[in-house]
Amino acid sequence: MQLFKRDERLELVLGLVAEILKKGVVRCPSTPSEEELLLEALDFLGCRCPPCGDKREYALEELGFFEEISPPRFRVFQSTEELLYRNWPTPLVRLASLSSGSQRVWAKLEFFNPFSMSVKDRIGWSMVSDFLARNPGARVLLYEATSTNTGMALAAMAAIKGLKVKLYLPATIQRASDTILRVMGAEVHRVPKTLTVEFVGEVDELARREGGYHLNQFENNANFKVHLRYTAKELDLQVREASLSLRGIVGGIGTSGHLSALSLYFKSRYGKSVRVYGVQPAPGTVIPGIRRVESGMKWLHYVEVDRVVDVHPDEAIKHAIRVARSEGLFIGLSSGAVVAAFEKLRAEGLVEEGDYVLVFPDHGFKYVEQFSAFLEREESQHK
Ligand code: PLP
């Protein structure tokens, strides 16, 4: 089911983005319409336009492709906003307990982001920065539907920028989220529903009626863009730094922002040798932060994903506990789902020799209620 309208312009721009990533070079366009398209593509890529009139091909690196990723050596930051965007890359760590022989497994730890301790800090920053760039000095109330992480990221960005946010949480999310978000200064509303396209549509309508602005992580291209300009590029730099033979990336799908950007980037730049696997909750189940593809995703429609793997919440919890007990990392439920999906792919013989990157979106602290219920259930079964 296609719940998002096909955006022909976006398709054209992302087609050009893929072509540029594949070739690794850019040439100055010859017509104004080509120039307009190129400028849009370069904005997604985060690099400068080649000097006009010069007809030679410029390598992406000559146009500042990697310049935005510049962490300070001794981690001194001038503001908490800098603490976010100048602290990237988030760490990439080899997990010995998941690696075996010539198959090496690495985790990209998104809980190293400072505000929501999740991958969502990236889009909170990107969507608010983009909004303020287009509406300088705006004092409007920001609206968003969230399963906690985007809400925390937006509350933090709002605090930094002197704005206010109104957040709508689905019923299925842990109770602690209300307190966390209120402490961070957000106005919080619970909706007795799961996070569906209809739910997001209702928040859109409310924002319109009440004169606010709905950032809408599900449709806002600043989401996809930040993952292309930062998440994917920084992983590329890390893969090169560690001389990995990258064979696959596994990641959860919520808005589809981070996995779609990683897929577009790595498949365009390195071809089919890099497989990309998405993870969704098994039918009729809930894993916070990720959703079933048929519930509506925007960017996934413009990229190639090799396979989407179903994971049951109990499998996600079991693998999160396994990682905690073998690696000392207390990871969130969608991270556990990513590990479970990787193990399913391995059991099917789809994991080859080489390096695999698993994206861990967040930390386990937000899911203490779910972990607690799981442990109690296990203990009562063993009595
Ligand atoms: N995992 C968690 C914990 C999340 O909060 C999210 C997004 O809400 C995801 C995974 C999925 O990320 P994306 O929205 O980039 O698909």
Site to substitute for ligand 1 among 119, 126, 262, most atoms within 8 A of C-beta: 119
Same domain membership, residue 172 and residue 242: no
Closest C-alpha to ligand 1, atom 6: 289
Using one digit for the tens of pLDDT, what is the confidence trace for 102-117?
999 999 999 999 999 9
Closest C-alpha to ligand 1, atom 1: 289
Residue 304 CA, distance from chain mean position: 16
Same domain membership, residue 230 and residue 166: no
Q: With respect to residue 284, please indicate whether it lies within any of the assigned structural domains.
A: yes
Closest C-alpha to ligand 1, atom 12: 254
Residue pair 225/126 in contact (Cβ under 8 Å)? The answer is yes
SS3 label, residue 267: helix
Q: Give 252 Cα–ligand 1 centroid separation in angstroms.
A: 6
Q: With respect to residue 190, please indicate whether it lies within any of the assigned structural domains.
A: yes
> What is the average pLDDT score of the chain?
95
Using one digit for the tens of pLDDT, what is the confidence trace for 310-356?
999 999 999 999 999 999 999 999 999 999 999 999 999 999 999 99
Same domain membership, residue 16 and residue 157: no
Closest C-alpha to ligand 1, atom 8: 289
Same domain membership, residue 102 and residue 53: no
Strands (E), the chain: 25-26, 58-59, 92-94, 103-109, 141-145, 164-170, 187-191, 213-214, 246-252, 275-281, 307-311, 354-360
User: What's the pLDDT score for residue 2?
Assistant: 45
> Is the bond into 89 cis (omega within 30 degrees of 0)?
yes
Length of the chain: 383
User: What's the pLDDT score for residue 194?
Assistant: 81
Contacts of residues 2-11 at CB distance under 8 Å and 24 or more positions apart, as own/partner, are 2/301, 3/197, 3/295, 3/296, 4/219, 4/296, 4/297, 4/298, 4/301, 6/301, 10/221, 10/302, 11/302
Same domain membership, residue 326 and residue 269: yes
Same domain membership, residue 286 and residue 261: yes
DSSP state of 330: -
Q: With respect to residue 28, please indicate whether it lies within any of the assigned structural domains.
A: yes
**Whole-angstrom Cα distance, residue 225 to residue 222?**
5
Q: With respect to residue 76, please indicate whether it lies within any of the assigned structural domains.
A: no
SS3 label, residue 379: helix
Kindly state if the Cβ of 257 falls inside 6 Å of ligand 1: yes
pLDDT band at 74 (very low <50, low <70, confident <90, very high): very high
Mean pLDDT value of segment 60-87: 97
Using one digit for the tens of pLDDT, what is the confidence trace for 206-260?
999 999 999 999 999 999 999 999 999 999 999 999 999 999 999 999 999 999 9
- Phi-psi region for residue 211, left (φ > 0), alpha (ψ -120 to 50) or beta? left
Kind of pairing, strands 354-360 and 246-252?
parallel
Q: With respect to residue 73, please indicate whether it lies within any of the assigned structural domains.
A: no
Strands (E), 200-297: 213-214, 246-252, 275-281
User: What's the pLDDT score for residue 1?
Assistant: 36
Using one digit for the tens of pLDDT, what is the confidence trace for 225-237?
999 999 999 999 9
Domain of residue 347, residue span: 81-116+221-378
Query: How many domains is the chain built from?
Result: 3
Q: Which atom of ligand 1 is nearest to the CA of 254?
A: 16
Same domain membership, residue 228 and residue 176: no
